[in-house]
Amino acid sequence: MAPDQTSAKGQLIVLTGPSGVGKGTLVQLLLERHPHWFLSISATTRSPRAGEEDGQSYYFLSKEEFQTWIGEEKLLEWAEYAGNYYGTPRQPVEAQIAQGKTVLLEIEVLGARQIKQTFPSARRIFILPPSVEVLEERLRGRGSDSETAIAKRLAQAQQELQAAAEFDHQLVNDDLDRALHCLIDLIEEGNQPQD
Ligand SMILES: Nc1nc2c(ncn2[C@@H]2O[C@H](COP(=O)(O)OP(=O)(O)O)[C@@H](O)[C@H]2O)c(=O)[nH]1
Ligand SMILES: Nc1ncnc2c1ncn2[C@@H]1O[C@H](COP(=O)(O)OP(=O)(O)O)[C@@H](O)[C@H]1O
């Protein structure tokens, strides 16, 4: 039986959109306001940034370890992004959904597409920047990526933005507070008991 067909059902919310659009910022604010919502911790082969800890920001794996996780079907979805692998560990997500929790995934577009197959009931929200120029400013302003990494992310962003209409909802992250409240409304809409 597919995980979203069990009786006690939580909601799976997928936030996607280009790097630098503000997904991480929005997720942290969502969790401050709703600490009982569960954020999935992804696995990645990218190197930790300053301040990132294994098991908190990501599970940092070697390429070999990541391949093993794929082979053992430990990942709900995975994708290669800007030269590294990223994936969602399956077990914690399934366990939290089974307990009726709201689970958040913050993932890139290829992975978000796969979730449609794995969890048809997931609600997938595409976060858009006000413009590509603003996206570039945010990536630079964050100060976490090299020029090469920024160039890769911007090139990827052009393609990702074309996929926005595929998703269930589109939300422009212009004013942070406005975007946050729209996001909360969208998620809470899905938490209402259904007749
Ligand atoms: N498919 C997939 N993408 C992920 C996962 N975790 C993170 N990502 C995405 O990978 C991209 C790069 O992430 P990261 O290197 O942390 O950069 P940042 O999101 O720009 O800070 C972002 O678009 C993330 O949303 C995952 O488990 N699966
Ligand atoms: N609505 C917003 N207005 C202005 N700056 C923002 C907004 N949302 C996010 N940012 C800033 O943009 C940068 C990228 O945001 P981040 O959350 O890291 O993006 P992502 O997780 O999508 O890669 C950060 O420096 C963040 O503070």
Mean pLDDT value across residues 123-143? 95
All structural domains of the chain with their residue ranges: 3-190
Which residues approach ligand 2 with their CB closer than 6 A? 19-25, 138, 141-142, 173, 176, 179
Q: How confident is the model at residue 193 (pLDDT cuts 50, 70, 90)?
A: low
In contact, 23 and 129? CB cutoff 8 Å: no
Most ligand 2 atoms within 8 A of CB, residue of 14, 106, 138 to mutate: 138
Closest ligand 2 atom to Cα of 143: 25
Q: What is the pTM of this model?
A: 0.92
In contact, 123 and 12? CB cutoff 8 Å: yes
Tokens 């997928």 belong to residue: 14
CATH topology (fold) of 3-190:
Rossmann fold (3.40.50)
Give the residue with greater pLDDT, 194 vs 49.
49
Q: Is the pLDDT of residue 157 over 50?
A: yes
